[in-house]
């Protein structure tokens, strides 16, 4: 890795903590319904919405009530996005006159955006009308993120409370997440992105005259180039902040109109991890022990940073195949060097690696370089980050509650090790908690491995594999790893816009979002109902470096070891072939 | 009768005979219904059957791999199941041997049922099996007590070694806290009239036998939770292994050569990955924990109680007998102003002659030692002895005299005496009050002696704190357990003793209902409370406490209210009970951690071996340099089976317990079982592989 | 269920209005007010004609122009309406083929330069629309352009430097030469050429 690369990585992490801390404190105020500086403007809006929706702001619900609210709201969101796609040819704001989206693709996209996955089987600039992008996709970018944050707020209250059934009110957490956190942040980021060159308009695509005509395969000369337009900045800001990741354009944040400069790239990378990191601190404040928040943050960072360095090192090393052709892949002041296939010059290897690891750590899924063209180790890192269960920062809200489930398992085993019925934050961990936690950790690997196997066994699944050999296996594994973890990034060579991948992928996304969210709420309900167990010298402290180390070991042993055989048949063997 | 030495053998050693029995039981436990209770080992059983079928197929010539290889894998899978069953049978066997000894004591015996419930009434000789609750019977020297009961008349020495293993006889008498007797124990001297309190078969001994045999063993809460987690791991790994077949098929197509992974190898991988080490030993750990309690002569009514013992936050300990030696000793006489020490000592001795308590006797002895006052016999004095009552809180003697005014001597707590003489219109002397305060502050108990209305002085009754108790409390504090001393003493005395013994807190001038209230208060704060008790008035508190240990010498009601009975009637046993509870959880945690950490090495053994035919480059992952793919897979399976055997002693003995902070304990155990679990299989598998290669079996 | 439907419906509609309509309109308004050029695609004009965007690369294949990177868009390279990367894995045979083809083109266009070719010049960008090449890639092509345009390499080096987008704040990202801007400047400064137009 280069010296400048190291500086960029360190600066990124420092900025993340420096901004995550105050944001975390602010979000804690939002979820504790305390006064914030935005109240004078947003307070009346909030109260008006509650009156309109018939929500009693003083009324809290138990876990079941909240779970039903979540499912009803998300089901409606799904229907709207599905309907908009199927009918977009009849609706306004469609200057390119795109036709209706196919049923399977519409299903996949609707699930994808409602579930905060934002897997995109389609190319944005060739498929979706502005209306679909705005009313369907942008709205879901907000509310699917807010859904995850609301579930987290309910879960954390379950950990903070004792001897009660009530977790809070999903509607209120949803509304406040959107109004107080996502909307203001998105506006600031969007305007910042426009300043860097991200487009934001409602104009039709522009045509410009080329400086030098381009001759296509049939010998026909093209004299013009089409420049895509649209309200991109407003969507990009929220897709980054809400760990959505669904790009406005096909190549996502590799596209110069989506991510024009190193500075815009820095903002967008920061936005990927900002809320997930901040929520760690919010959690600490809400359970009245900030050390707990730091411990979880430390575990996440300690998993991510070494893998980030590994990926950056691997990409900077370049491709031996190119080296054999005498290509200069060495970094120098005049060139970034390294494996540049699928990467942009302005971003280079370091920023591509940081982004790739951040976007797969968080279940964001946006990309600024093509993961399919990464070196095997770099690609393996992105796969591995997702296979950890999207708990290293993870999706907004969902990542932290996923990590807290691992904390509960780590506490359970560690509690046995010190000879005491395990307890976390004053809650005894008993059979029901372990049952829910087990359910939560076993669904993901079974879904991902099962659907990958199904794809490899079926003609339809194998038909659209792009790369030959072990890399082709990685493409399929990546697709279901991504959808089965609500990530949304892709080894994009795989032709995923087929009925097979659209349907099964949609099911994977449904399972990984809702099958997880509902037991999580049940777990929260059970934790909240427990009598308070005070901490003493016999209680295992959960904020120490030792516990953080143990948590990391559990996440890796339980979360990722399951994928070792699959990784061996994909990127690991590819790496060995390349280097041996 | 069981002698103590026989008892010790049963409790500590694994004899050849018991091991042989365990081997037989290991096969008996292969019954699918028995196996299904343990999902991890059930999967291994299914794998064993499956590979056996594949082996038979291979023998016929149509096998997916050489018959020798499949056969070897299959054989070791069967061993894996059998080893786990063996561990469980071994743990059960130890209890069974003990139960057999107990049952001998219980055998049907004849009983002398009394027609009237008092000594000397006519009796019928009946079989013990026909006795009913409420029957009253007589047991005389040399006879065996036919059932659990309450002594209603008489005093006798009883040999309880059948249940306690302790050869020294104990005293059983009517009234008070030593009135409960256990069926199967033998009266050595004198006689007892007993009212039966438990139906035949429902007695203490019967319950104990059932518990030891494990017939009624129910899974404890933590065990249930752990079982769920292990089942989840098993399901995940099942998914991992099943999907590897299509992955392998695709890879063979992609690579253009090699052959897909065999079912035998997948089964081998599955068995290696699922947590068989903890899964195989889990029930043995639980049974062994119960057994360890019994070896400490504690009978728990459920495994749940043992587990709860490990979680205890607060120990309520009676001062007397637990923290201090049971008896206070008179240590000095301080006369009131103008009274000679001899006069005080004489009066004190007179007042104590009829006092059979150890305190009373120690006063008599002290008076004799200091002033040469010979202990007079009770009947030499034509006096009327006034016994201690809860109302007067005084005892003493009234000696009528013809030539002088009658002497009325009383001794008692300062408060009681003060009330007594003030009622007579006399002011309590201030110098005596000072002495009383000084004595209390020093941790001793002052007894004030008064003759008629004249206060003679103060007897110092000194508490003797047990040796080594302070260190044990320090250990408990390290474990995060708070000790609270319960005493009837006044706060001044209690403070001094609490400081000397090193307890964290105390409850002075405690009445039984105070104890109950204190337990409730701690429980409201979310703490788990343990206590010991023996008297009937302890029963409500025992019933309320989370871990309640009744003394075997205690009353029947105390034993009913408790969830553990200490056969040695040693109140400090509570400390060991806590340790055993913790040990039980730690052993489970240790083996779980070890089991999970083992998987890393097993992946490195099996993955390259399974796929090297398709992708020769994967040979680079064979970091252990195992000889051949076959030997690598077989080595992992063999290691996986042998580690169960290797860990049986740990499962039965439990993880060594050292009191320390939870964080220190975690570090230590993670180093041993986590890191050890990570490293050990690399060495172990390599070793097995070298052996196999040397034997030419690879 | 009705108790849940009403808040769900009302909130979804309200958020659709707020985040789906008001929010993009507010961003658009702000953007058009403060950053009109950036918000509308950073279009470059020559003699009043829009000739491209500063941010979107174009294909150059003539020897007199600096070449951009490879582009995997279809049907033609640098198709702004359909961004795409190659998605070749590092061992994909087509990747090696593409690299070899590009090496041959570069060697044919300039047989005198024998230095190792900078990697970005033989690989396709992620978007297929990368507006930049590395400074090394520009310098590699400089001798050819100098001959074609009758300029000195020193002139070109100065021109390259002027059209290099430096790292933001001196450390963020990587320096890149904007190929379209550089070529436009080339046409303006060194219109004549040995071979003629």
pLDDT in tens, A5-64: 899 999 999 999 999 999 999 999 999 999 999 999 999 999 999 999 999 999 999 999
Instruction: Report, as residue numbers or ranges, the catalytic residues of B.
Output: 318
Cβ–Cβ < 8 Å for B591, B673: yes
- The number of distinct structural domains making up chain A is 1
Q: Does A90 touch chain B (CB under 8 A)?
A: no
CA dist list (Å): C140 to A10, A318, A325, A436, C53: 32, 19, 17, 61, 24
Between B7 and A42, the more confident residue is A42
Sign of CA dihedral A157, A161, A167, A168: negative
CA distance C78 to C60: 10
Confidence of residue C194 (pLDDT cuts 50, 70, 90): very low
Nearest CA in chain B to A532: B526
Q: Furthest-apart CA pair in chain C: how many Å?
A: 81
Nearest CA to B564 out of B298, B177, B290 is that of B298
Q: Please report, rounded to a whole number, the percentage of residues in chain B having pLDDT higher than 90.
A: 29
For the residues A69-74, what does the mean pLDDT come to? 96
A 10 A CB-CB count for B287 gives: 26
Q: How far apart are CA C66 and CA C45, in angstroms?
A: 19
pLDDT (mean) for B558-568 = 81
Residue B326 has pLDDT above 70, yes or no: no
Cis peptide before B476 (omega within 30 of 0): no
The Cβ of residue A302 has, within 10 Å, a number of other Cβ atoms equal to 15
CB pairs under 8 A between A and C: 407
Is residue B410 within 8 Å of B351, Cβ to Cβ? yes
pLDDT at B272: 95
Closest among A379, A393, A383, A389 to A409, alpha carbons compared:
A389
CB A493 within 8 A of CB A128: no
Specify the pairing of strand B329-335 against strand B454-462: antiparallel
What rounded mean pLDDT belongs to chain A? 93
Structure tokens at A402: 């996923």
Confidence category of residue B14, pLDDT binned at 50, 70, 90: low
Does B615 contact A573 at a Cβ distance shorter than 8 Å? yes
Q: Which of B106, B108, B143 is nearest to B123 (CA)?
A: B143
pLDDT of residue B9: 36
B695 alpha-carbon distance from chain centroid: 48
Question: For position B105, what pLDDT does the model report?
Answer: 62
- pLDDT confidence of B365, banded at 50, 70, 90? confident
Provide the number of CB pairs (under 8 Å) joining chain A to chain B.
213
Quick one: average pLDDT of B236-244?
95
Nearest CA in chain C to A132: C20
On whether the CB atoms of residues A322 and C119 are closer than 8 A, the answer is yes
Token pair 């961990």 in the structure block, residue: A429
Query: Hey, are the CB atoms on B581 and A553 less than 8 Å from each other?
Result: no
- Among B37-41, B488-492, B675-679, where is mean pLDDT lowest? B488-492
CB C77 within 8 A of CB C71: yes
- Confidence grade of residue B92 (pLDDT, cut at 50, 70, 90): confident
In this complex, the residue of C15, C57, C85 whose CB is nearest that of residue A143 is: C15
Inspect the interface and report whether the beta carbons of C41 and A257 lie closer than 8 Å. yes
What's the confidence (pLDDT) of residue B438? Answer: 87
Chain A contact present for B674, CB below 8 A: yes
Chain C residues touching residue A225 (CB < 8 angstroms): 52, 56, 58, 78-80
Q: Closest chain C residue to A255 measured between Cα atoms?
A: C127
Work out the number of other CB atoms within 10 angstroms of the CB of residue B406: 12
Q: What is the mean pLDDT of residues B531-535?
A: 78
DSSP, collapsed to helix, strand or coil, labels residue B467 as coil
User: Within the 231-290 window of chain A, which residues sit less than 8 Å (CB to CB) from chain C?
Assistant: 231, 233-235, 237-238, 249-251, 254-257, 260-263, 265-266
pLDDT number for residue B467: 78
What pLDDT is attached to residue B211?
A: 64
Residue range C78-129, pLDDT digits in tens: 999 889 999 999 999 999 999 999 999 999 999 898 899 999 999 999 999 9
Among A572, A378, A578, smallest CA distance to C96 is for: A578
Percentage, residues of chain B above pLDDT 70: 90
The β-bridge partners of A224 are A209
State how far the Cα of A109 lies from the Cα of B228, in Å rounded to an integer. 36
Cβ–Cβ < 8 Å for B648, B87: yes
Domain ranges of chain C: 1-40, 42-189
| Nearest chain A Cα distance for residue C162, angstroms | 14
- C58: nearest CA partner in chain A: A210
Whether pLDDT at A277 is above 90: yes
State the nearest Cα–Cα gap between A543 and chain B, in angstroms: 10
pLDDT value, residue B130 = 77
Residue A118, phi-psi category: left (phi > 0), alpha (psi -120 to 50), beta (remainder):
left
> Any idea which of A70-74, B136-140, B278-282, B551-555 has the lowest mean pLDDT?
B551-555
Least Cα distance to B382 among B401, B362, B396, B369 occurs for: B401
Task: Give the percent of chain A with pLDDT over 90.
Answer: 82
Supply the pLDDT for residue B466.
Answer: 78
CA distances from B612 to A301, A568, B253, B269, B657 (A): 35, 11, 14, 15, 45
- Determine, for residues C139 and A334 on separate chains, whether the beta-carbon distance falls below 8 Å: yes
Whether A532 contacts chain B with CB within 8 A: yes
Touch test C–A: 3 Cβ pairs or more under 8 Å: yes
Arithmetic mean of pLDDT, B234-259: 93
Residue B2 pLDDT greater than 60, yes or no: no
C-alpha distances out from residue A479 to A185, A386, B656, C93, Å: 30, 11, 48, 22
pTM exceeds 0.90: no
Q: Touching check for B658 and chain A: CB below 8 Å?
A: no
Name chain B contacts of A433, Cβ cutoff 8 Å: 225
Closest CA to B332 of B366, B296, B301, B381: B366
By C-alpha distance, the chain C residue nearest A201 is C28
B412, two tokens: 């008692």
CB A81 within 8 A of CB A135: no
pLDDT value of residue B347: 87
**Phi-psi category of B399—alpha, beta or left, where left has phi over 0 and alpha has psi -120 to 50?**
beta
Q: At what angle do helices B303-311 and B276-295 cross, to 10 degrees?
A: 90
Contact status, residue C56 vs residue C129, Cβ threshold 8 Å: yes
Which residues of chain A are within 8 Å of residue C96 when distances are taken between CB atoms? Answer: 321, 325
CA separation for the pair C118, A324 (Å, rounded): 13
Question: How buried is A348 (Cβ within 10 angstroms: 0-12 exposed, 13-18 middle, 19+ buried)?
Answer: buried
| Test the B interface: residue of A405, A411, A418, A539 with most B CBs within 10 Å | A418
Residues 6 or more apart in contact with residue B616 via CB below 8 angstroms: none
Distance CA B528, CA B144 (A): 39
Could you tell me if A459 lies within 8 Å of chain B, comparing CB atoms? no
Percent of chain C residues topping a pLDDT of 70: 96
Cβ under 8 Å to C: A residues 170-209: 171, 174-175, 178-179, 182-183, 186-187, 190-191, 194-203, 205-206, 208-209
**Which residues in chain C are closer than 8 Å to A492, comparing Cβ atoms?**
85, 87
Contact between B243 and A572 using a beta-carbon 8 Å cutoff: no
Q: Give Cα separations from B367 to A44, A307, B379, B451, C121 (angstroms).
A: 89, 83, 19, 17, 111
Does C176 sit within 8 Å of A346, measured CB to CB? yes
The residues pairing with B158 across neighbouring beta strands, listed in sequence order, are: B170, B187
Lowest mean pLDDT among A252-261, B215-224, B570-579, B672-681: B215-224
Annotate B302-332 with DSSP letters as a single string: -HHHHHHHHH--EEEEEIIIIIB-S--EEEE
**Got the DSSP string for A127-159?**
H--HHIIIIIIIHHHHHHHHHHHHHHHHHHHHH
pLDDT score recorded for residue B558: 78
Nearest Cα of chain A lies from the Cα of C135 at a distance, in angstroms, of 5
pLDDT at C2: 76
CA dihedral sign of residues B533, B536, B541, B546 = positive
Task: Note down the domain range covering A286.
Answer: 3-579
- pLDDT tens digits for A493-530? 898 899 999 999 999 999 999 988 999 999 999 999 99
Select from B479, B527, B592 the Cβ nearest to the Cβ of A537.
Answer: B479
Higher-confidence residue of B374 and A244: namely A244
- Please list, in sequence order, all residues whose beta carbon lies within 8 angstroms of the beta carbon of residue B606, skipping any fewer than 6 positions away: B265, B268, B269, B272, B632, B633, B636
Average pLDDT over residues B382-410: 78
What is the band of B7 on the pLDDT scale with cuts at 50, 70, 90?
very low
What is the ipTM, given to two decimal places? 0.95
Residue A419's SS3 state is coil
């Amino acid at each position: 890795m280069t010296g400048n690369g190291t500086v960029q990585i360190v600066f990124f992490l420092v900025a993340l903590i420096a901004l995550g801390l105050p944001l975390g404190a602010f979000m804690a105020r939002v979820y504790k319904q305390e006064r914030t500086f935005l109240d004078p403007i947003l307070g009346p809006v909030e109260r008006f919405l509650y009156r309109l929706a018939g929500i009693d702001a003083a009324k809290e619900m138990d876990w079941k009530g909240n779970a039903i609210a979540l499912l009803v709201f998300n089901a409606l969101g799904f229907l709207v996005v599905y309907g908009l796609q199927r009918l977009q040819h009849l609706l306004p704001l469609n200057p390119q006159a795109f036709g209706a989206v196919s049923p399977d693709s519409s299903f996949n996209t609707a699930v994808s955006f409602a579930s905060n996955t934002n897997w995109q089987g389609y190319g944005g600039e060739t498929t979706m009308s502005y209306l679909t992008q705005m009313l369907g996709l942008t709205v879901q970018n907000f509310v699917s993120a807010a859904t995850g944050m609301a579930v987290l707020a309910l879960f954390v209250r379950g950990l903070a409370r004792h001897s009660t059934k009530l977790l809070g009110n999903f509607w209120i957490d949803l509304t406040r997440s959107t109004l107080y956190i996502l909307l203001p942040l998105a506006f600031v980021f969007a305007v910042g992105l426009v300043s860097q060159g991200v487009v934001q308009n409602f104009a039709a695509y522009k045509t410009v005259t080329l400086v030098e005509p381009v001759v296509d395969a049939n010998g026909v000369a093209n004299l013009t180039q089409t420049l895509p337009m649209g309200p991109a900045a407003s969507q990009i800001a929220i897709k980054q902040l809400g760990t959505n990741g669904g790009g406005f354009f096909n190549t996502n944040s590799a596209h110069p109109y989506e991510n024009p400069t190193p500075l815009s790239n820095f903002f967008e990378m920061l936005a990927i991890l900002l809320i997930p990191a901040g929520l760690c601190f919010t959690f600490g404040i809400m359970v009245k022990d900030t050390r707990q928040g730091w411990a979880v943050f430390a575990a996440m960072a300690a998993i991510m940073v070494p893998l980030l360095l590994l990926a950056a090192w691997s990409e900077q090393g370049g491709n031996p195949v190119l080296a054999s052709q005498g290509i200069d892949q060495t970094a120098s002041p005049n060139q970034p060097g390294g494996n540049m296939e699928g990467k942009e010059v302005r971003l280079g290897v370091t920023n591509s690696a940081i982004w790739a690891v951040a976007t797969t750590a968080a279940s964001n899924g946006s990309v600024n370089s093509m993961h399919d063209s990464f070196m095997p180790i770099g690609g393996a890192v992105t796969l591995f980050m997702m296979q950890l269960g999207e708990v290293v920062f993870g999706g907004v809200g969902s990542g932290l509650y996923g990590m807290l489930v691992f904390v509960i398992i780590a506490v359970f085993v560690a509690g046995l090790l010190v000879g005491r019925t395990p307890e976390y934050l004053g809650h005894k961990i008993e059979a029901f908690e372990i049952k829910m936690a087990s359910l939560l950790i076993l669904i993901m690997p079974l879904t991902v491995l099962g659907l990958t196997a199904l794809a490899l066994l079926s003609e339809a699944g194998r038909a659209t594999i792009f790369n030959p050999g072990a890399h082709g296996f990685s493409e399929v594994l990546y697709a279901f790893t991504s959808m089965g973890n609500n990530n949304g990034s892709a080894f994009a060579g795989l032709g995923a816009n087929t009925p097979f991948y659209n349907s099964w992928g949609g099911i994977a996304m449904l399972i990984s979002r809702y099958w997880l969210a509902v037991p999580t709420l049940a777990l929260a309900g059970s934790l909240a109902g427990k009598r308070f167990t005070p901490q003493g010298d016999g209680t295992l402290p959960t904020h120490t470096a030792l516990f953080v180390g143990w948590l990391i070991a559990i996440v890796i042993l339980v979360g990722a070891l399951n994928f070792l055989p699959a990784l061996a048949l994909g990127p690991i063997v590819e790496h060995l072939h390349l280097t041996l | 009768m069981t002698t103590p030495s026989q008892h010790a053998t049963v409790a500590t050693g694994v004899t050849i005979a018991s091991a042989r029995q365990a081997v037989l039981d290991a096969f008996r436990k292969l019954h699918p219904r028995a196996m299904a209770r343990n999902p991890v080992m059930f999967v291994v059983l299914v794998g064993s059957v499956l590979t056996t079928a594949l082996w038979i197929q291979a023998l016929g010539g149509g096998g997916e791999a050489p018959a020798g290889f499949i056969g070897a894998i299959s054989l070791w899978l069967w061993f894996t199941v059998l080893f786990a069953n063996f561990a469980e049978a071994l743990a059960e066997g130890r209890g069974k041997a003990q139960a057999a000894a107990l049952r001998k004591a219980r055998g049907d015996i004849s009983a002398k049922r009394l027609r009237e419930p008092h000594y000397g009434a006519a009796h019928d000789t009946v079989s013990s099996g026909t006795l009913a609750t409420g029957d009253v019977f007589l047991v005389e020297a040399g006879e065996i007590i036919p059932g659990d009961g309450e002594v209603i008349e008489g005093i006798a020495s009883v040999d309880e070694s059948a249940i306690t293993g302790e050869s020294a006889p104990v005293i059983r008498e009517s009234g008070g806290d030593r009135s409960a007797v256990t069926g199967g124990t033998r009266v050595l001297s004198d006689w007892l009239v007993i009212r039966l309190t438990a139906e035949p078969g429902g007695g203490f001994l019967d319950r104990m036998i059932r518990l030891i045999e494990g017939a009624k063993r129910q899974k404890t809460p933590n065990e249930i939770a752990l079982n769920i987690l292990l089942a989840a791991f098993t399901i995940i790994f099942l998914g991992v292994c099943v999907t590897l077949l299509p992955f392998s098929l695709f890879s063979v197509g992609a690579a253009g050569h090699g052959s897909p992974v065999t079912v035998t190898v997948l089964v081998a991988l599955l068995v290696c990955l699922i947590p068989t080490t903890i899964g195989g030993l889990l029930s043995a750990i639980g049974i062994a924990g119960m057994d360890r309690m019994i070896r400490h002569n504690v009978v728990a009514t459920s495994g749940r109680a043992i587990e709860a013992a490990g979680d205890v936050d607060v120990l309520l300990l009676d001062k007397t007998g637990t923290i201090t030696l049971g008896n206070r000793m008179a240590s000095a006489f301080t006369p009131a102003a103008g009274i000679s020490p001899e006069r005080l000592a004489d009066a004190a001795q007179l007042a104590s002659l009829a006092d059979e308590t150890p305190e009373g006797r120690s006063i008599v002895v002290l008076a004799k030692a200091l002033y040469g006052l010979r202990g007079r016999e009770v009947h030499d004095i034509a006096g009327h002895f006034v016994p201690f009552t809860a109302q007067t809180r005084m005892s003493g003697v009234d000696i009528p005299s013809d030539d002088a005014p009658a002497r009325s001597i009383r001794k008692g707590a300062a408060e009681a005496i003060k009330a007594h003489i003030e009622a007579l219109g006399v002011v309590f002397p201030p110098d005596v009050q000072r002495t009383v305060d000084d004595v209390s502050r020093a941790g001793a108990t002052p007894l004030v002696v008064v003759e008629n209305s004249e206060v003679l002085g103060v007897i110092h009754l000194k508490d003797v704190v047990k040796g080594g108790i302070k260190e044990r409390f320090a250990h408990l504090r390290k474990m995060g357990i708070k000790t609270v001393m319960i005493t009837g003493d006044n706060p001044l005395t209690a403070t001094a003793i609490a400081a000397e013994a090193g307890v964290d807190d105390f409850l002075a001038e405690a009445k039984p209902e105070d104890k109950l209230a204190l337990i409730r208060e701690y429980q409201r704060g979310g703490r788990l409370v343990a206590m010991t008790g023996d008297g009937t008035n302890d029963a409500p508190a025992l019933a309320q406490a989370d871990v309640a240990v009744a003394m075997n010498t205690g009353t029947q009601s105390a034993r009913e209210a408790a969830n553990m009975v200490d056969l040695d009637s040693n109140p400090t046993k509570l400390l060991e009970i806590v340790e055993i509870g913790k040990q039980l959880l730690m052993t489970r945690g240790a083996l779980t951690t070890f089991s999970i950490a083992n998987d890393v090495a097993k992946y490195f053994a099996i993955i390259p071996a399974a796929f090297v035919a398709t992708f020769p480059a994967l040979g680079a992952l064979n970091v252990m340099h195992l000889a051949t793919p076959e030997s690598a897979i077989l080595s992992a399976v063999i290691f996986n089976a042998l580690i169960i055997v290797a860990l049986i002693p740990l499962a039965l003995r439990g993880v060594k317990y050292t009191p320390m902070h939870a964080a220190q304990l975690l570090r230590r155990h993670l180093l041993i079982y986590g890191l050890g679990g990570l490293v050990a299989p690399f060495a172990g598998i390599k070793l097995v592989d070298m052996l196999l290669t040397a034997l030419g079996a690879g | 269920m009705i108790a849940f439907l009403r808040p769900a419906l009302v909130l979804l509609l309200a958020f659709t209005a707020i985040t789906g309509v008001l929010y993009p309109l507010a961003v658009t308004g702000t953007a058009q007010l403060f950053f009109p050029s950036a918000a509308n695609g950073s279009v470059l004009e020559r003699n009043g004609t829009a000739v491209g965007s500063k941010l979107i690369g174009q294909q150059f294949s003539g020897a007199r122009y600096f070449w951009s990177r490879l582009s995997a868009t279809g049907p033609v390279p640098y198709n702004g309406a359909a961004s795409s990367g190659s998605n070749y894995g590092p061992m994909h045979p087509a990747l090696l083929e593409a690299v070899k083809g590009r090496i041959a083109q570069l060697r044919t266009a300039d047989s005198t330069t024998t230095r190792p070719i900078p990697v970005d010049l033989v690989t396709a960008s992620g978007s297929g629309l990368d507006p930049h090449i590395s400074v090394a890639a520009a310098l590699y092509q400089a001798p050819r352009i100098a001959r074609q345009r009758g300029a000195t390499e020193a002139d070109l080096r100065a021109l390259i430097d002027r059209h290099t987008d430096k790292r933001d704040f001196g450390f963020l990202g990587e320096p890149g030469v904007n190929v379209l801007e550089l070529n436009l400047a080339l046409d303006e400064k060194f219109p004549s050429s040995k071979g003629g137009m």
